Amino acid sequence: MIYLDHNSTTIVHPEVRKLIGDITAETLNPSSVHASGQRAKGLIEQARRQLAGLVGIEANARDYQVVFTSSGTEANNLVISNFNDGDIFISAIEHPSIFNYLQYQAGIKVIKVSSEGVIDLEDLSRLLAESSNSKKLVSVMLANNETGVIQPIKEVVAIATKFGAAVHSDCVQGVGKIAVDIKELGVDFATISGHKFGGALGAAALIAKTKYHLKASIIGGGQERGIRSGTENVPAIAGLGLAAKLAKDELVSRRHKMQTLQARLEQSLPPAAKIIGEGAKRLPNTSLVVVSGFVAETQVIAFDLKGIALSAGSACSSGKTKASHVLKAMNIPEDEASTAIRISLSHHNTEEEIDTFIDAFKNIYKLRNVA
Ligand code: PLP
């Protein structure tokens, strides 16, 4: 199979797989006092340092803490739920783990984006100026999972700071693909998920400035400094740590490989294909492609039959034919949005795979007479 759906989940690094396999054979509960408990604790703390190292902070230093969670979704929920007594401002293109809060919590304000999928900073300022609540949170993702468009987070932080608002950035799709420095971005909170950059499913983190005293999301034995109880998923967390170390060591070469493959792919697409957000700064691995007249789900099946895995719009919304809220926010007409397929690459892909994809693409469209 040719796998071109790495924004959905990517390959677990072989070294991570080995580590997880080995650790799973041990009895590791970090809350236990005996030697194996202490070893488990050591593994968790090492992972915390490794993850912190990937994103430019020191774990357990005075300024930031790393709270391990089970998923990026949980980390996003943790931060948003901590501001449910404040005013919350989210971009119109957030992942459903933030965007769908609109269905459950009244009063959340949505910040507009441009037709290229970039946050409208004037709209952010206008919305913040209207708020009289002393507790405010702005949540803007670093890079969009559907389009790959990168957001101007430093500018968001500069504006939010003027209005006394805290800033959260969902960095799930950026980490491992581009350099992410939490300190330099200046955000108060950031979400990271291991299975997007070579870790296993089941381990993610919320990074938070220590000056915020987060309310617990899960009550129990007081793990993760009481913020997130439950016996830690030691194998997955240790795997996340190793994946972070490897991603840091290999970032430049991985990014270069992805960029080369992305350029090859985008330059070979037939003229009838349009890349969404093409003029904006994008991740080096994500291309959202529309060709009018061919519903995305039909394309995904046609590619699947040729042994190529990709998704219709966001993986998180595949299986549903509902138009993507991201493309709606970008004012892309529904008939065009419904044809969007997402090709998301990794450094594991090869030039031959890209060429096979392009051949399949041309074939599928020729059969359908749309290009
Ligand atoms: N945020 C973004 C931008 C994502 O793309 C995803 C998953 O696709 C998530 C959050 C959720 O992460 P997880 O799959 O770890 O719950």
Closest CA to 23 of 178, 161, 199, 214: 199
Exposure string for 203-223, b = 16+ CB within 10 A, e = fewer = bbbbbbbeeeebeebbeeeeb
Residues β-bridged to residue 69: 204
Residue 183 has pLDDT above 60, yes or no: yes
Element (H, E) at 274: strand 274-275
Question: Annotated catalytic residue: which of 316, 360, 370, 371?
Answer: 316
- The preferred substitution site among 172, 177, 206, 283 for testing ligand 1, maximizing ligand atoms within 8 Å of CB, is 172
The residue whose C-alpha atom lies closest to atom 10 belonging to ligand 1 is 72
Q: Is residue 144 in contact with ligand 1, taking CB distance under 6 Å?
A: no
**How many whole angstroms from 192 Cα to the centroid of ligand 1?**
8
- Whether residue 171 lies in the annotated active site: no
Q: Tell me if residue 111 falls in helix, strand or coil.
A: strand
What's the mean pLDDT in 324-333? 96
Ligand 1 pocket member 170 (CB < 6 A): yes
Question: Is the CB of 172 inside a 6 Å radius of any atom of ligand 1?
Answer: yes
HEC readout, 33-70: CCHHHHHHHHHHHHHHHHHHHHCCCCCCCCCEEEEEEC
371 — pLDDT class (breaks 50, 70, 90): very low
| pLDDT tens digits along 332-357 | 999 899 999 999 999 999 999 999 99
DSSP-assigned letters across all residues of 293-360: TS-HHHHHHHHHHTTEE-EES-GGGTT--SPPHHHHHTT--HHHHTT-EEEE--TT--HHHHHHHHHH
Question: What are 276-315's pLDDT values in tens digits?
Answer: 999 999 999 999 999 888 889 999 999 999 999 999 974 4
Ligand 1 binding pocket includes 71 (Cβ within 6 Å): yes
pLDDT at 366 exceeding the cut of 90: no
Averaged pLDDT, 358-364: 93
The pTM of this model reads 0.96
Q: Does residue 72 line the site of ligand 1, with CB under 6 A? A: yes
Question: Is the pLDDT score of 124 beyond 50?
Answer: yes
Distance from Cα 369 to the centre of ligand 1, integer Å: 36
Tokens of 316: 């998180």
Tens-place pLDDT, residues 37-59: 999 999 999 999 999 999 999 76
With bands split at pLDDT 50, 70 and 90, how would you rate the model's confidence at 177? Answer: very high
Q: Which atom of ligand 1 is nearest to the CA of 94?
A: 3
Question: pLDDT digits over 232-267, tens only?
Answer: 999 999 999 999 999 999 999 999 999 999 999 999
CB of 339 shorter than 6 A to ligand 1: no
